[in-house]
Copies of this chain bind each other. A is one copy, B any other.
């Protein structure tokens, strides 16, 4: 056991993180993230892994190698041995997404006890995003500035009115728990949020992803790049290499790409056919849209491979 003979321990601490303790990193127009406390560091991950895997691990790997091995092979428990406590200020509609991560501890400001924070998220004229056409849940590009100006003016009016109604209700003696009911979803809230490093990385993998909503992505990026990178730099590097930058190939992907790689186009075609990737429109004769095939084509391109069904330019355009 590491340290077993040590008569006395010092708590691990990370000077680079100590320097930013309590400092508010601004996010969005009026939000922030601050580190309140933490437990452990890169070395604490290694120490816990060595308890599990014993002395043998010491010979083959240095600390960095072990951390990278653990992350690459999706080991989880050693990363649970580190803990981070944040104080955050977030619009409630982004917080709704945040709070869905269940393996965390939370104390949020209660608008039953206290008057709601007097701030709702404001959108600048250039920040109104268009509905994405391909991705039903996403956004892409931004609206014309003139339209944006009108929308921002309207937003200000609505938020002002909602606040007035709220305060008016309180003045009349309405209970806080009821008065708040018509405040905007994007009203700011504050919370202490505490999470272990394994679950934090999972949160970041999902919320730094391009499919996450821009607002929560801004928080995730700050937590990842400004805080975690500074707290556990070796874990962060491994996470960037093996999770953020990773690509998963399915059994089908492997079969098709393998055949392409070996130059065995008939097998690649047969496998894709079997998988239902090559159905064609009765009307136009073109390949129908197929999300799984489209993803495979992107991967193939990355590996310098061309699926045979793309040889025909008109089909490629249709994909």
State the A residues within 8 Å of B (CB).
1, 3-4, 6-13, 18, 21-23, 35-40, 44, 47-49, 51-57, 68-69, 72, 77-78, 80-81, 83, 85, 87, 91-93, 96, 99-100, 102-103, 105-110, 112-114, 120-121, 123, 128-132, 136-140, 143, 147, 151, 154-155, 158-159, 161-162, 165, 168-170, 172-178, 180-187, 190-192, 194, 196, 213-214, 240-242, 244-252, 254, 257-258, 260-263, 291-292, 302-305
Contact = CB atoms under 8 A, between A and B. Distances in A.
A184 B106 CA distance: 24
A194 to B, nearest CB: 6
A262 B40 contact: no
Q: So how many copies of this chain end up in the complex? A: 4
Nearest to A121: B181
B36 A130 contact: no
Nearest to A93: B181
A251 B68 CA distance: 13
A108 to B, nearest CB: 6
Nearest to A71: B250
A28 B249 CA distance: 34
A251 B258 contact: no
